[in-house]
Amino acid sequence: MTIDPGIMLEFLPYLLHGAIYTIVLSTVAIAIGIVMGLIIALMKIAPLKVLRWPATAYTDFFRGTPLLVQLMMLHYGLPQIFHYTPVAWLDAFIGLGLNSAGYVAEIFRAGIESIDRGQTEAARSLGMTYMQAMRCVILPQAVRRVLPPLGNEYIALLKDSSLVSIIGMSELMFRARLLNGSTYRPFEAFFTAAILYLVITLPLTQLVAVMERKMSISDKRS
């Protein structure tokens, strides 16, 4: 059997639709990740132990176990204990969001800790509280520094989101697998999917490279 570009073209609209779900899913997940990740990062560097350790436990768990295992636990494990009917798309959003929060928290923590200690000291010496110094002095500087790694995390998330096909959300990978099953055209199905993933990730990779270059220039100047 040879490769049939006509079939790839036929698959395209259906897969394209899935690609949109992939983008929406990853975007919502990174948004959840950013909000939760910031809170977890602040907890991790907090002066209080009671805040630090749950945050550390969180990042250890979500970075130390496979995303696939997390998704399975969420989608099959929890319903078994709490007796409810799982909803695939909801679990996809939640699972991916919780997972990205673990990684984003580490990105934020590293970004915050990369800011010179003198900045905090200057802010505190003016009478600012810990939180005021964070909000007005440290975070605005840290945000710029974490943009490139956040971009990379988003790209990783776009690819990892293919795993939610296992629990049955109808995104790009799920649809490719479905086409494979119904037409026995695995190459056309998965190759078209691969191209669609690339179309999404390549511009983002470029964008991150540009941000990194800009940042290294401004770092040299200051």
Partner 1 sequence: MISVRNVRKNFGNLEVLKGVNLEVKDGEVVVIIGPSGSGKSTLLRTINRLEEPTSGEIYIDDVCITDRNVDINRIRQHVGMVFQSFNLFPHLTALQNVALAPVVVQHRPPAEVQELAMAQLSRVGLAHKANAYPQQLSGGQQQRVAIARALAMEPRFMLFDEPTSALDPEMIGEVLAVMKSLARDGMTMVVVSHEMGFSREVADRVVFLEYGQILEEGTPEQLFDHPRHPRTQEFLSKVL
> How far apart, in whole angstroms, are the C-alpha atoms of residue 35 and residue 59?
14
128 or 156, CB closer to partner 1? 128
27 or 132, CB closer to partner 1? 132
64 or 127, CB closer to partner 1? 127
For residue 118, the minimal CB distance to partner 1 (Å) is 4
Q: Contact, 201 vs 154, CB < 8 A?
A: no
For residue 136, the minimal CB distance to partner 1 (Å) is 6
For residue 153, the minimal CB distance to partner 1 (Å) is 23
The gap between the terminal CA atoms of the chain, to the nearest Å, is: 61
Burial of 222 (0-12, 13-18, 19+ CB in 10 A): exposed
60 or 121, CB closer to partner 1? 121
Residue 45 neighbours by CB under 8 Å, 6+ apart: 52, 109, 112, 113
For residue 52, the minimal CB distance to partner 1 (Å) is 20
Burial of 191 (0-12, 13-18, 19+ CB in 10 A): middle
For residue 209, the minimal CB distance to partner 1 (Å) is 23
122 or 202, CB closer to partner 1? 122
Residues of this chain that interact with partner 1 (CB under 8 A) are 116, 118-119, 121-129, 132, 136-137, 140-141, 144, 221-222
For residue 210, the minimal CB distance to partner 1 (Å) is 20
> How far apart, in whole angstroms, are the C-alpha atoms of residue 167 and residue 173?
11
For residue 124, the minimal CB distance to partner 1 (Å) is 7
Residue 132 C-alpha from the chain's centroid? 28
> How far apart, in whole angstroms, are the C-alpha atoms of residue 39 and residue 35?
7
Burial of 110 (0-12, 13-18, 19+ CB in 10 A): middle
Residue 151 neighbours by CB under 8 Å, 6+ apart: 204, 207, 208, 211
62 or 108, CB closer to partner 1? 108
> How far apart, in whole angstroms, are the C-alpha atoms of residue 138 and residue 11?
49
136 or 199, CB closer to partner 1? 136
